[in-house]
């Protein structure tokens, strides 16, 4: 009888690796589709479309079981509009999944985009619905696989107005002292050479061997775009990782090379190569898992 029980257990144990949590790519594409749809009208900060996107993110974080950050998913901030000098407000959407320690990895993307111009909706599918939908996919994954570090999932607002959501976030110095790393995703879904960059290793060389060790999900992971001699092609302050870097918090920024749809109305769901996008989110998840082991 004992022998029989043992034999019966073997197939059950043998199945376990297949039950490992994996990225829900079907949901990822659905989230990308909604966030970059005409319903959110380009998500410009302060607009109704931006609010619709925000409500969607809150609902999705709740569904995935990610907790509100500091008792709330929404974090309002004010800033001065650089063009008009008027005072504006934005709202970050932030969720968290507790790890085994309170040392934090902050994963970021921006949900705002350019809005409507000359009655054209700028859907910003790559910029940065792609990173925002990836945040939701990461939250889904880590709700099922508890991380070592406490993970903060921050969907920032007003990036397009000067990285304002990220600037507001890094003002909390007590919080920031617990942050070990920022992983920023901005434009991670569109490249026709299967290439994506991890920028920041010039400033934080200790991150490079970890990135070199990961499974890149069939893509080519490139380094660079982070040295001062590059001028406009130095991406050190090009997106929300900039304010983290200014405060001395190490960052890795994942993003693709600029493309023909960048800041154009054609940056929409239909122009996203979905297989590349799924691989890119898998690659970034692999990187987060590797950093979480450190």
Q: Which residues bind Zn ion (CB under 5 A)?
A: 127-128, 186
Among 21, 272, 275, 268, smallest CA distance to 138 is for 21
In whole angstroms, how close is the CB of 278 to Zn ion at the nearest point?
A: 20
In whole angstroms, how close is the CB of 60 to Zn ion at the nearest point?
A: 20
In whole angstroms, how close is the CB of 241 to Zn ion at the nearest point?
A: 11
- Toward Zn ion, which CB reaches closer, 184 or 207? 184
- Toward Zn ion, which CB reaches closer, 186 or 226? 186
In whole angstroms, how close is the CB of 183 to Zn ion at the nearest point?
A: 15
Distance CA(141)–CA(137), nearest Å, equals 6
Distance CA(150)–CA(91), nearest Å, equals 22
Contact, 256 vs 126, CB < 8 A? yes
Beta carbons within 8 Å of 16's beta carbon, 6+ residues apart: none
- Toward Zn ion, which CB reaches closer, 128 or 140? 128
- Toward Zn ion, which CB reaches closer, 161 or 170? 161
- Toward Zn ion, which CB reaches closer, 128 or 226? 128
Contact, 43 vs 158, CB < 8 A? no
- Toward Zn ion, which CB reaches closer, 142 or 169? 169
Beta strand pairing call for 195-199 and 220-223: parallel
Phi then psi for residue 225, to 5 deg, are: 55, 30
3-state secondary structure of 242: helix
In whole angstroms, how close is the CB of 272 to Zn ion at the nearest point?
A: 14
Contact, 273 vs 209, CB < 8 A? no
Distance CA(66)–CA(79), nearest Å, equals 28
In whole angstroms, how close is the CB of 165 to Zn ion at the nearest point?
A: 12
């Amino acid at each position: 009888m004992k022998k029989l029980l043992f034999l019966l257990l073997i197939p059950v144990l043998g199945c376990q690796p297949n039950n490992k949590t994996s990225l829900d790519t079907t949901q990822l594409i659905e989230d990308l589709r909604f966030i970059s749809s005409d319903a959110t009208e380009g998500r410009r900060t302060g607009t109704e479309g931006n609010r619709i996107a925000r409500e969607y993110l809150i609902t999705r974080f709740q569904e995935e079981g990610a907790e509100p950050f500091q008792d709330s998913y929404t974090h309002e901030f004010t800033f001065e509009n650089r063009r008009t000098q008027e005072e504006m407000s934005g709202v970050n959407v932030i969720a968290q999944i507790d790890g085994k320690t309170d040392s934090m990895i902050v994963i970021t993307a921006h949900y705002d985009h350019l809005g409507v111009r000359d009655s054209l909706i700028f859907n910003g599918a790559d910029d940065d619905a792609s990173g925002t939908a990836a945040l939701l996919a990461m939250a889904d994954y880590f709700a099922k696989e508890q991380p070592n570090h406490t993970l903060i999932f921050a969907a920032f607002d007003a990036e397009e107005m000067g990285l304002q959501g990220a600037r507001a976030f890094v003002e909390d110095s007590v919080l920031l002292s617990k942050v070990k790393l920022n992983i920023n995703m901005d434009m991670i879904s569109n490249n026709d050479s299967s290439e994506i960059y991890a920028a920041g290793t010039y400033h934080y060389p200790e991150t490079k061997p970890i990135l070199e060790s990961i499974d890149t999900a069939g893509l080519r992971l490139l380094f660079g775009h982070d040295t001062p001699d590059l001028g406009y092609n130095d991406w050190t302050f090009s997106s929300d990782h900039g304010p983290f870097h200014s405060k001395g918090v190490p960052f890795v920024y994942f993003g693709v090379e600029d493309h023909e749809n960048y800041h154009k109305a054609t940056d929409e769901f239909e122009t996203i190569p979905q297989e590349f996008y799924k691989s890119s989110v898998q690659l970034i998840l692999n990187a987060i898992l590797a950093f979480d082991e450190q």
